[in-house]
Amino acid sequence: MKKILVIGSMNLDFVTSVPHMPRVGETVLAQGLELVPGGKGANQAYAIGRLGGRAAMLGCLGQDSFGDRLLENLGKAGVDTRGVERRGEASTSMAVIGVDPQGDNSILVLPGANGLVDRAMVDRHLDLLEGCDILAMQLEIPLDTVAYAAKKAKELGKTVVLDPAPAVPDLPEELYPCLDLIKPNETELSILTGRPFSLETLGDSARLLRQRGARNVLVTLGAEGSYLLEEDGRETRIPGDKTVQAVDTTAAGDSYLAGVCVALSQGKDLPQAAALASAVASLVVTRRGAQTSIPDREEAQALLQQLDP
């Protein structure tokens, strides 16, 4: 099985329930508070491990109890954490997450140690990049680091996968040609392309990212499933499960990306990978929390059998 390196963020999430998302100037009374391991990068590495993949993590934590907790949790999933540095000049990153009755969320991130993941750190752990087959990244660490690592990985012949979250409208032009797969959701696709999102124009927006250099584009559509545009021009719609009652969508996108990476590491093609990822995400949204919502190995095995019944 191929090895997957995740370069990205690591947070401790403070999760609370809200009756609705606050409007500008509005005070909303929340209920309950849970502290759960999170961060898009850590979520993806943890999920890869839980799904039976070979995962390594490159990221940064503070020298505090929050960092201890995050590192311990990754170890439980079998993630190689040699690339996780503990630094004294910043605290472990935190996120405050409000979840409404529909399971939708709003997230505020305090970057902390995530902002210390720089080019020099990538170079210090170049052995991890050289030893992996697939590189997965997100945008909760400095954008310059993402572009640098993607270029390095492409020079080494690695498969590069990007989850462009949180999305920015001005991704470096030189980043797109390094991407074997970019996986935005509807909102992120709109931000990246500068076009309003609609199902009718979905293909045109995806083709714009292809024109910029990304080889394959996979757009997640929530309950509507996902859309795949491959480098040969083939388009595939992967249906979602509209019967799922969402409780918390916090880690849905991260788990989806993990499912894609694990399937690719096992030799599946992109449509098969997207189908597995949809199954994983549909299970994750029925549970609260980020890493606490990710299926265990037994559940993952049942999901994998959907591809190989």
The active-site residue out of 80, 163, 180, 254 is 254
Give 9's contacts (C-beta < 8 A, 6+ positions apart): 39, 40, 41, 42, 59, 93, 109, 111, 114, 117, 138, 140, 141
> Annotated binding site for substrate, which residues?
11-13, 39-43, 140, 254
Helix pair 40-50, 252-265: axis angle to 10 deg: 50
Tell me the pLDDT tens digit for each residue of 171-195. Answer: 999 999 999 999 999 999 999 999 9
How high is the pLDDT of residue 291?
A: 59
> What pLDDT does residue 306 have?
61
Known active-site residue 118: no
> What residue type is assigned to position 79 of the chain?
V
Cis amide leading into 19 (omega within 30): no
Domain ranges of the chain: 3-304
Provide the pLDDT for residue 282.
74
Return binding residues for ATP: 185, 220-225, 253-254
Measured CA to CA, the distance from residue 149 to residue 288 in angstroms comes to: 32
What residues does 87 pair with on adjacent strands? 62
CA dihedral (9, 246, 184, 162) positive or negative? positive
* Residue numbering of the annotated binding site: 11-13, 39-43, 140, 185, 220-225, 248, 250, 253-254, 284, 287, 289, 293
Q: Could you give the 3-state DSSP secondary structure of residue 224?
A: helix
- What tens digit of pLDDT does each residue of 201-256 get? 999 999 999 999 999 999 999 878 899 999 999 999 988 766 566 655 666 788 89
The CATH H-level (homologous superfamily) assignment of domain 3-304 is Ribokinase (3.40.1190.20)
Does the global pTM surpass 0.75? yes
User: For residues 227, 9, 102 and 196, what is the CA-based torsion angle, rounded to 10 degrees?
Assistant: -50
Q: What is the pLDDT along the chain (309 residues), one digit of tens a residue?
A: 799 999 999 999 898 999 999 899 999 999 999 898 889 999 999 999 988 899 999 999 999 999 999 999 999 999 999 999 999 999 999 989 898 888 788 888 888 999 999 999 999 999 999 999 999 999 999 999 999 999 999 999 999 999 999 999 989 999 999 999 999 999 999 999 999 998 889 999 999 999 999 999 999 998 788 999 999 999 999 887 665 666 556 667 888 999 999 999 999 999 999 988 888 877 766 566 555 667 766 776 676 566 555
* Residues tagged in the binding site annotation for K(+): 248, 250, 284, 287, 289, 293
